[in-house]
Each structure stands twice: as structure tokens, then as C-alpha cells.
Structure 1
Amino acid sequence: MTLSGRDAYRATLTRLAETDDRVLCFEADLGGRRHPFAERHPDRFFNLGIAEATMIDMAAGLAVAGYRPFVSTFAPFAALRAAESLKLTLGYLAAGVTVVAPYAGVSGAWFGTTHHCLEDLAVLRAIPGVVVAAPHGEAEMRSVIEYAAASGRPHYVRTGRNAAYESLPGAGDGRVPPVVWDHRGPPGATCLVSVGEEGTRLCVAARERDPGLAHAHLCYLDHEHLAAAAAELAPLHRRFVVVEEHRPAGGVAEALALLLPDHAVTGVNAGHSWPTEGGDHGEVLAALGLTLPAVLAAAGRPASA
């Protein structure tokens, strides 16, 4: 059974803690009664409640003392409510804390605007030194968590709620490369660039409609990794359509446009409006204009292709 991103994170962290006593797990009222890490390693599991900034500050102190702390809470509360703590601890102090943020984008759906987060990439990408990742599928999440634990670098990892996806074959079994190719396409083809779970789902669906499209998936989204991705993408295609569950400001399309000034880069994203009605994840995405027809239109293909 394929695990969702947040369940793959919990399972991987629990396994890593079996052989690494430095691994700690912090939750901000998201752990539930049967958290696998809490059951297996109760002396290294801490539920701080709704005190997100305090949780990150505590984790930073333990990281400086040599531990490998992982903290998790809703993306809006990690990236926005605790933004100052992220800036000072993960950024300025370069503390080796990994923040895993489920409910990113509008995956919280019916929880409403307070539990939506379409701004986290803009915030975290602006903090130098933080590795920013948005894994797609179980294998990518496991790889990202394994690298974070081994490297001790500050990380921000965004994921959704309960959606479970198989990672693209190009993700491989080791560290996820800067570009994961779903399909390279012929020279001159429009190249879809997918970010995160929903962006990748939409790009895979678009390629099923039109196999002539190229598709490159990006897991790591900080400047260091995007610069490497841009260097790989630049000689292969001239036109890119970036699909991401994020605002246009501060998103990956904007970043790639600066890194690829001689190429055409457009974005399909969550736009500038606020959801005004409830619904499930797909319904809220549709209300924001992040849909398969929108991706096909941006790639210059009819929705019926």
C-alpha cells in the first residue's frame, strides 16, 4: 500500500531512529494517539501543542547540541506563524532542524483560509541556507527525509494531507536529483515543470492527454537546487510551463524565469484570489483555477487533446 507523504515521513523517521539515537521527533498537536514514532521511541517524542515557534526554538537548541530534530505541524503554522523562528534558527544560526509541513497549499480544503498555505515557498526560499523540498510520492519523501537526517542541514519539507502517489520512476532509489524526468520530449517541445504533489499529478495527466509534451519534475526548490535544475533544463527546451500549488509571487515559476532569462517561462498556479467557498481539495483547486484544462491551455494545447 502506497503511503501518503506525511505517513511516509513518520514511517521513515521511525526507522531511522532505530539506528541513530540523535533523531528526535516533535509534533505540534498533530501526532494522534498512534503515532509510530511515539509508540516505538517514546523517550524521543515530544508533543508541544499549538506552540509552533517554541517547538522550532527548542529543536534548534537540541540541534546545536548534536541532535537531529524533526518537527511537524500544519504548513501555515510552520511557515507563517513561526516564520521569525525559522528565519533566526534555520537561517541565521543554520541549525540542523528539519520542518515537515503537511496540509500545504489548499489540501486542508474545507478547513478554510486559516489552514491553507499558498505562501510557504516564498517565505522559505527567501531564507538563505535552508533546503526546500516538495516531494511527490512515497519514495521521494523517504529519500528527502533520509538525506535530511544524514546531512544535518536545515530543511523545510512541504507535503499534502492524505493523498498518496507513486513517485515518478526517474526519482530513483538514492538522493533525488535536481531534475526528475518523466519524459524529456523532442527538442523544441513545450516542457511542463511540476512542483509538489498536485502540480505533478496535473502534469502527468496533461502528458496522458498529449504525449508530445515534455515533463520535468522538481523536488528540491531552494536557490541552490533550482540553479542546478535550470542549468540542466536550459539546453533542452525553450518554453516551460511551471505547475505549482502556490501563489505566483515567490513561487518556482518566478524563480525559474529569473534563472532562465532567454527562455519563455509561464506559470499555472493558485492565482491571486481567496477561496470563498468550502469543498474538497479538488474543488478548492478548481475554484482557484489550478486545473488540467488550465495546464493544457498554458502549454498551447486544447483541453480535448
Structure 2
Amino acid sequence: MTATHSTRMLILGSGPAGLSAAIYGARAGLAPIVVQGIQPGGQLTTTTDVENYPGFREVIQGPWLMEEMQAQAEHVGAKMMWDTIVEVDLSQRPFRLIGDGGTVYLGDVLVIATGAQAKWLGMDSEESLKGKGVSACATCDGFFYRGKKVAVIGGGNTAVEEALYLTNHSHDVTLIHRRDSLRAEKILQERLFANERIKVLWNKEVSRFVGEGEPHGLVAIELKDTVTGDLSRVDVEGGFVAIGHHPATELFRGHVELDEDHYIKVEPGSTRTNIPGVFACGDVMDKIYRQAVTAAGTGCMAALDAERFLAEVDFEQVAQAAE
């Protein structure tokens, strides 16, 4: 027989957003179920040093932080389920989600916290140097490269914003772009070109990240000219891949309204989607900040929005029954 789990609050995703929603939902007596998804704990489980999460004066480890968040959520009454959702039905309440093994999850409200993943170049040298000089988040890791030479790969808003941000820590920032013009907004380009700490290498693509030393770390990026095919090298200690993100919304296309970049659209200042009773939080709806602390904040918002929604529904049902 296929198992069925019912709850007042069903949460999909177990990163900072999903677990924060679970903590607030459990404290409100909603006995939330968290379906953890393909990467329990979210992106922070692949991050080593975390130095910008409030409350910790010393550097902490991403996996440890997520373990503590999960333990806190379970302590106050949330239930964790190791499953991956493959099908959703949001046409009526309770909402119905089906796991890859056939398990059915029913929720009076649904909180979507499936997150987003940074796009990578997909190179072996990149993979081997992740966390050892190669990163996809300047805001997260730029502080570790104070006074060092760094490079940003990309040509859109994210790449330009990260290059500008890195000038707070580095006097020598190189932006590497495979074309001869940027896709970023004009005002961002103007700020970039006016900054003496940034130089741009045009028509260059990464052919290899070079690691040396003990401990092993990034020392240079080998480049290929996209016009002439010539090879060159730029010596850097930090390389930031800034070519965009993939929000994990494939499951909800055709069910929840998405924006042009496939992020879930929410009402400004809330986590409410276009479907009453469905809420979205964290990186799946936030393409601007994408920080653990902001994800946790929107997770709190989603739980409060969901609690208020259920209170209104319950009040209406009681009023109708009394008529």
C-alpha cells in the first residue's frame, strides 16, 4: 500500500528557508512535514567556511549550521521526510504531492523552498578547486580574498555586481567575458568602467583553472581568445563564476506563476504566490540577495503568511457551520 502523510503545513525543501519555515510553523502548532528533496540542507551543505551568518563570531561550517537548523526544527515538532517530489497537484486543497517512490503528501498549505543552484562552467579543473579559490558567490566568499588578486567570469548583471563588490576587498579585480560587450544594465557598466580597480578582458573564455601549492589552491586561470584562439594566463588567487543561477522550479511550471527567469513570483512584501495557500521562500523566489540569512528570513515570512491564511480559512469554516 502507498503511504500517505497529511499535515496542515507541507514544506518542500530543507535549506535555511525551508527549515526556518518549519521552526515557525511547528511553534504555531501546525506540525509541519518537511520533504527534504534531492539535497537535504540545501546549498550550505556544500559550503565550508561560513563567516556572515549572524550569531557566530567565529567561522562556522555550512553542513554543521544546517544540521543544527534541522535539529531545532525537529525539536519543536517538525517532521523530516527523505524523499524527492516528482508530481504536484495544486488544483485544490489539500494540495497533493507525490514522491518518487509513490508516497503521497497532503498539505492544507504548501511552502515551496526548493532553492536555486549557481550555474558552473562544468570543467574538471573548476570542480577540483571549488572552495579552494573557485567560488560562485562573491558576497559569501569575497572577504577571504582581502588584498588578493581575483577574477570574475561573466558579463551580465551578476558578474558586474560581483566585480564591483570585490573591489571592497581587492585592489586588482579582472572581469573575464567571452564577448566584446557586456549584457549588464548600462548604469552598472558605467560604474564598472569608472572603477580603477577593475580591468576587463574581452573575448576570453576559461580553458582551465590552475591549482598549485600545499594546501592545493587556485593560482591562475588559463584563457582562450574566442576570436583568435590564442591562449593566455591571468594569475589570481580567487576566481568567481558569475554566469547566473537555476531556480529549482521545473516541478511547478504550469502550476505556479513564474517570472521570465523561472523564479516563482510572489506578491511584493510577502511570500504569497498566485495560488491561495501556496507560499514561496528563499532562493526559489529571490534572485537578488541569495544569502542564507535572507532565505531564513523569507522562510519565517512564509510560515507567518501560511499561519494567517489557515486562521482565516478556519474562521470562515466555523462561521459557515454556525449559519
Q: TM-score band, normalised by the shorter chain?
A: under 0.3
Structure exhibiting the larger radius of gyration computed from Cα positions? 2
Structure with larger RCO (C-alpha < 8 A, sep 6+): 2
**Larger strand share, 1 or 2:** 2
Give the TM-score normalised by the residue count of structure 2. Answer: 0.26
